[in-house]
Structure 1
């Protein structure tokens, strides 16, 4: 077997060194604690780019900004998406799995849907749900920040993308929440079911397929009831080739991944500005919109919602000086790249001021939501939602997080502090 009987042999490549070969597959070690795994390899071999074996495939891990920029930029045509084999059955054809001209066609359609004027039309729904979920957090007791944010983002997703009116559709919201949770659990079990069946049962995947079918039925029902001017009407008129494309993209938009990502960022923001010692930063972020932008960039730099992304090499190329061979898998590690000391001095420190100079250029180097041609199309909507929620919180509350809580992070499948992260919110005096 490839790499068997090879121990600590330096990989000599014409363009550079990716560290050491490893004996055996490291999937279990990686999935148990990806950050510890990656940091250990980077420290042991004194490199932010190294090679291991994951999902029974030779895999190069990228932990430099330049490596990620090469991957998602000028070298992107040398790679194909690495998750289609795991996720396509539960999502169907959509922009995430498309390549070449097909990807360009779908992205052009989606850009029309998420252009700034259309994003602004979501504002009333956003403001109504912010008031509903965050107007009464001064309860005198601690609340789970992550669960509160996830509940909000879930309802917002249904409201925006399925035109569900939250106050009038509690039963619909509850059913949808249950279905997207079941669907998501099947998605995250797929790699394990395919490669390591002793980690999980395939019944989770079967349940997810059933949930997908029920979600598609609901989507079709909502499309039939769409009113002119609503999002569902606009998406049918956007230029997709058929209704199946519309349905598959709506399924993607309401995936549990979306509220989990929002909840991750908002929870990290809550943690970053928690406590009396952060009162001056909260005040500055409340009165200075630009400073709030810098705070949010720093939150996303330190605690990106997604660990990274996977690609498969279809044509050999060079990434940050390292030759990558055809057939190799490549994982770009957002958490590590965002801590690249060549780009971000004092990388472990929370320093919003680092964005004051050349902030726009630095922001382009973040890969929270992918990068290059495959960067998330809804980025403007994402930024608007996050900033509006944070502005409301800063305007209305001070907050603390219990000092005795375990504030370590779990990183897969979506990053968030371990446990419930119980926070106490106190309403500001008028």
Structure 2
């Protein structure tokens, strides 16, 4: 890469003693990070006392993604995510990733995707049946309930019960918030103090642990072979070389990883999609035309996805503009170079899908909601691997196809029955924590009968 082009090394502005640029990222990340492209292709920042580097432009981000043994999972975001996810496939090191991926890969085969899509079809049908014309809902809350139920049923073939699902829904936002604080403000004393927020974080993490451990124990005590779910796949998986299976801790880590990805990512993406549809009536009109022609008011299923290309493009464009995983970190395993510049071993490397997706050198009119930018003829004009909403390289998310299917099925099924109308006077401010969310998004349910 660096043999044909010189890449700029810059320094982020506005650092302050002791915290460096941490407060800028914490308070205003969605402006601060995209603006760093004016500083360089690779930009030096300070997080606390640590010097870190942000890969800003497409080529430099790809260099990080396609050298996973040098730019390994690590840095503040990953290290704090390990508080929740342990050593699962999303956070493990490059040296064990291939082994971890083999354990969980069978859960994402095509036949399994069909089953999970059927679960989404059933659960979204129940959701829209529970709404009525004129009802005001918080879209994010409703869709988080939906994806929590879908993910739970995919993980556990038997219903884990309303209490357990409610515990997951209650705990996840609190844990995400706590992890983000620990990532951006790396001051250990701040997070060990007996404050209300720290207490809530530890209680929420314990709640998630309890749900997982109880289900693993129940399955180990009753190892039936007829369960068709992710937990059974993990418990029966064996290492190809040693013949050993996952420990309870290993199963717990993978289930936590699936919960994190399966609950928050599609719920956040769908919430943004409905917000954007409310702001773009021409897009909504075209979406409704396709959905009405294909579904005629019924709930979508797995076989309908291929007939809903515009719906899929709407979902993809929502993920481009507001990728749930908006901020990612790596750590160098040795002295190396990045964008032609020397980087010491043990250095944190940052990159932001949100910032990259707002780069006008990569996407034309990047702040505009344009689903047709994902038409095949337009995708071919983009640099290879331009969208990174599911990361990239060998560490690309295993559940990307599943997330796209679930979002298409849910989006189509909801708009087949209802339009979600913005509440007059309500404005949103994107909330960039461990996931990029809309914050509260009240909308009015309008029946299309």
Coarse TM-score class (shorter-chain normalised): 0.7 to 0.9
* TM-superposed deviation, 1:342: 2.2
RMSD across aligned C-alpha pairs, in angstroms?
2.8
Q: Give yes or no for contact 2:322–2:354 (8 Å, CA) kept in 1.
A: yes
Partner in structure 2 of residue 105 of structure 1: 99
* TM-superposed deviation, 1:334: 0.7
Q: Give yes or no for contact 2:310–2:371 (8 Å, CA) kept in 1.
A: yes
- Distance in 2 separating the partners of 1:103 and 1:135: 42
1:27-426 equivalences under 5 Å are 27-43=22-38, 45=39, 47=40, 49-73=42-66, 75-82=67-74, 83-165=77-159, 169-180=161-172, 183-184=175-176, 186-191=178-183, 194-195=186-187, 197-198=189-190, 201=195, 202-204=198-200, 206-208=202-204, 210-224=206-220, 225=222, 227=224, 228-231=226-229, 232-239=231-238, 241-244=245-248, 245-255=250-260, 258-274=262-278, 276-286=281-291, 287=293, 289-356=308-375, 357-359=377-379, 362=382, 364-418=385-439, 420-426=440-446
TM-score between both structures, scaled by the size of structure 1: 0.85
Runs (5+) with no aligned partner, structure 2: 240-244, 294-306
- Distance in 1 separating the partners of 2:238 and 2:273: 37
- Note the alpha carbon deviations across 1:155-174, whole angstroms, 9 max, x for none: 112111123427xx223333
Q: Helix, strand or coil: the match of 1:96? A: coil
Partner in structure 2 of residue 6 of structure 1: none
* TM-superposed deviation, 1:388: 0.5
- Distance in 1 separating the partners of 2:352 and 2:446: 37
* TM-superposed deviation, 1:239: 2.4
Change (3 A) 1:38 1:238: same
- Distance in 2 separating the partners of 1:132 and 1:226: 30
Partner in structure 2 of residue 19 of structure 1: 10
- Note the alpha carbon deviations across 1:183-224, whole angstroms, 9 max, x for none: 545534443675264477443454355335423431223423
Q: Give yes or no for contact 1:18–1:49 (8 Å, CA) kept in 2.
A: yes
* TM-superposed deviation, 1:360: 6.6
Greater CA drift, 218-227 or 195-204: 195-204
- Distance in 2 separating the partners of 1:354 and 1:181: 32
Change (3 A) 1:132 1:340: same
Change (3 A) 1:403 1:318: farther
- Note the alpha carbon deviations across 1:22-75, whole angstroms, 9 max, x for none: 5541212211221122244444x3x354221114311212232222211101x3
Q: Helix, strand or coil: the match of 1:330? A: strand
TM-score between both structures, scaled by the size of structure 2: 0.82
Q: Give yes or no for contact 1:150–1:263 (8 Å, CA) kept in 2.
A: yes
Change (3 A) 1:242 1:19: closer
- Note the alpha carbon deviations across 1:393-430, whole angstroms, 9 max, x for none: 23222232124211221111211223x2111222223x
- Distance in 1 separating the partners of 2:381 and 2:403: 19
- Distance in 2 separating the partners of 1:180 and 1:271: 22
Q: Helix, strand or coil: the match of 1:77? A: coil
- Distance in 1 separating the partners of 2:60 and 2:214: 42
- Distance in 1 separating the partners of 2:209 and 2:228: 24
Q: Helix, strand or coil: the match of 1:306? A: coil
- Distance in 2 separating the partners of 1:278 and 1:361: 22
Q: Helix, strand or coil: the match of 2:420? A: strand
